[in-house]
Structure 1
Amino acid sequence: MASVLNISAYLFTRIDDRETLRPLLRARAVAAGLKGTILLAEEGINVFLAGAPGSVRGFVADLRLDPRFAALTTKESWSDEQPFGRMLVRLKREIIRMDHPTIRPESGRAPAVAPATLRRWLDQGHDDSGREVVLLDTRNAFEVDYGTFAGAIDWRIERFTQFPGAAADHRDDLVGKTVVSFCTGGIRCEKAAIHLRESGVDALQLDGGILGYFEQVGGAHWTGECFVFDEREALTPSLEPRLVGAAS
């Protein structure tokens, strides 16, 4: 049985003491024997960690004692080996770069759709109001190539900073439909949904992203795997590392 617990988590929350917080979080993670990456920005925190289950969950529990991070939720998966080479805590301008400063998720989230609800909509071919459901993949093109939802829109962007321009180009194709933006863990599709709603598109974010969908629903309506930014490379819908030698 796989013994290394991997978590991903993010939260949009105001952080004004990043420089002070950075060494504290790194020291705490290293002391717990964890490896991975934590990103800190004024807009929030993004966490990728792996290690012994008790150590990972203990670190998260301690982090939640800070009121700013009390609402942090994690997505878990397992591996036989440590997928990270070291422990990094980095300061960033944004925890996911969009270069669109008016988008501030810490001020209010876009509406979200639960994985089970999305599966039901896809099963029946429409949302609960009878409207067409459009799935919008907000990830970079190379990530999409590992796998995506059947029939999802893919604008072939190479980096997330290209998303606002692509959204402007394709806005008329989305108006009047229920658009569900999705990404690996939820962070990009949260910003994307806010941006789309500001432009007049009825957009929702997939709560928990693809990994949350895998955890709660499995691989229904999904084809392929999900790229992840660590040495596992990609996860199957059962949240297991891809088979060695599998095609991208």
Structure 2
Amino acid sequence: MSSTPIYVNIAAYKFITFDDTADKRAEFLTTCTQLQLKGTILLSPEGINLFLAGLREQIDQFLTWLRADARFSDLEVKESYSKNQPFTRMLVKLKAEIITMKHPLIKPELGRAPSVPPKTLKRWLDQGHDDNGREVVMLDTRNGFEVDVGTFDNTIDYRIDKFSEFPEVIATHKDALADKTVVTFCTGGIRCEKAAIHMQEIGFDSVYQLDGGILKYFEECGGAHYKGDCFVFDYRTALNPQLQETAAVQCFVCRTVVTPREQLSPEYVVGQSCPHCPPKKISQKSLAVKYTIPAE
């Protein structure tokens, strides 16, 4: 039996009033450091967002510590596993929003958008409509380069570069989505939850978020109705529908995900260039890269 340690990777978020973030930052950093965890935690007046990795016992100790705070007693996490530690350091950051939309009046804790469980969504996609007979439209709220790694069949992709662009883009496409049931989705649920709430506020009458995002869907439904893999913001780069690390890597220069076949190209030089890089970007670059939870 192999003695190689298995790292537990957890992703979680919760929208909740969190007005003592400055005081709590040091506690989070000390606790994670003592448990030898690595990753990124964002603390904001609107809640918490985290991606962490460590050994099973240490991850469980952290979750017990965190859930002792009544505000996070019901925090749900999504898990995946890796042979190596996918993060290089431990960061705890203070932010105005745990996911930047530049619409601070949105307060999901005061009323969440309706969510659809993964198994229910799969059934809707199997039958071609929701339980009321309405056409189901999948709306990807992630950045364009993430979508390119994999997404649901026949999804709507507005090619946004950062999440703060979403409100303006969705407003221009509102009429095209009338009379349809729209299901927003993202990697773990945070962006699609904010997106769905915003869509409700501007008049969409049938919009849901995919509960737990793509990672939860993979966990419960595998790759049904999904093509490709799911980009993740750590050194694993992408997970397949079995929640296993793939051989894809991310170009340090242009951020494009490079497939194993593309890695054989002479244009692929680690830390310097890939087949997708514009000519002007192919130059000497720092090999250092920082993976954190997306701020946009």
Alpha-carbon distance in structure 1 between the residues aligned to 2:202 and 2:14: 24
Amino acid in structure 2 at the alignment position of 1:146: V
| Per-residue deviation, 1:149 | 0.1
| Per-residue deviation, 1:246 | 3.1
Amino acid in structure 2 at the alignment position of 1:211: L
- Relative distance call for 1:178 and 1:40 in structure 2 (3 A) is same
2:24 partner SS: helix
CA deviation vs aligned residue, 1:167-201 (integer Å, no higher than 9, x gap): 10000111211100000000000000001111121
Question: Is residue 2:207 matched to residue 1:203?
Answer: yes
Q: Which has the higher contact order (CA 8 A, sep 6+)?
A: 1
Give TM-score scaled by structure 2 length: 0.82
CA deviation vs aligned residue, 1:20-68 (integer Å, no higher than 9, x gap): 1001011001101100000000000001100101111220121011011
Could you tell me whether the CA contact under 8 Å between 1:193 and 1:204 is conserved in 2? yes
Match of 1:235 in 2: 239
Question: Is residue 2:201 matched to residue 1:187?
Answer: no
Match of 1:246 in 2: 260
Amino acid in structure 2 at the alignment position of 1:219: G
> Runs (4+) of structure 1 moved beyond 6 Å?
none
2:176 partner SS: helix
| Per-residue deviation, 1:243 | 2.0
Amino acid in structure 2 at the alignment position of 1:24: E
Q: Which runs of 5+ in 1 are unaligned?
A: none
Match of 2:223 in 1: 219
Could you tell me whether the CA contact under 8 Å between 2:14 and 2:49 is conserved in 1? yes
Could you tell me whether the CA contact under 8 Å between 2:29 and 2:91 is conserved in 1? yes
Q: Which moved more, 1:2-11 or 1:123-132?
A: 2-11
Could you tell me whether the CA contact under 8 Å between 2:184 and 2:207 is conserved in 1? yes
- Relative distance call for 1:247 and 1:37 in structure 2 (3 A) is farther
Question: Is residue 2:20 matched to residue 1:17?
Answer: yes
Alpha-carbon distance in structure 2 between the residues aligned to 1:103 and 1:172: 22
What root-mean-square deviation, in Å, do the aligned CA atoms of Structure 1 and Structure 2 show?
A: 1.2
Matches within 5 A, 1:1-248: 3-201=6-204, 202-244=206-248, 245-246=259-260
Could you tell me whether the CA contact under 8 Å between 2:97 and 2:104 is conserved in 1? no
Could you tell me whether the CA contact under 8 Å between 1:218 and 1:238 is conserved in 2? yes
Could you tell me whether the CA contact under 8 Å between 1:11 and 1:71 is conserved in 2? no
Amino acid in structure 2 at the alignment position of 1:71: D
| Per-residue deviation, 1:247 | 5.9
Alpha-carbon distance in structure 2 between the residues aligned to 1:83 and 1:205: 28
- Relative distance call for 1:161 and 1:90 in structure 2 (3 A) is same
| Per-residue deviation, 1:137 | 0.1
CA deviation vs aligned residue, 1:80-111 (integer Å, no higher than 9, x gap): 00000000000001000000122111212111
Q: Which runs of 5+ in 2 are unaligned?
A: 249-258, 263-296
- Relative distance call for 1:108 and 1:231 in structure 2 (3 A) is same
